[in-house]
Amino acid sequence: MSGFWQSMRERNRAGTDLPADYAPPGRATAVPADLPALAQRLFWGWALLAGVAVFFAWWMQRHGWWRALVDGDPSGISVVIALLGAVVTGWCGLRAWRLQAEAQPGLAQGWRATHLDELRRGQPEATALLSERTHGPHETAWWFTAASIKLGLLGTVVGFILMSLQLGQSQSFELAEVQKLLQQMTGGMAIALYTTLVGLVVNLWLGLQLLLLDRLADRLAADILADAAAAGAARGA
Each of the 237 residues of the chain gets a pLDDT tens digit; together they read 445 455 544 544 443 344 434 344 444 334 445 888 999 999 999 999 999 999 999 999 999 888 888 888 888 899 999 999 999 999 999 999 999 988 887 656 788 888 888 888 887 888 888 889 999 999 999 999 999 999 999 988 888 887 777 666 666 566 566 666 666 667 778 888 889 999 999 999 999 999 999 999 999 988 888 877 777 666 655
CA distance 213 to 89: 12
Look up residue 53 and give its DSSP letter. Answer: H
Which amino acid does the sequence have at 111?
W
Tally the domains of the chain. Answer: 1
CA distance 186 to 194: 12
Could you tell me the residue range of the domain that residue 53 belongs to? Answer: 2-236
CA distance 220 to 27: 11
CA distance 10 to 195: 46
**Taking the model in full, what pTM does it have?**
0.77
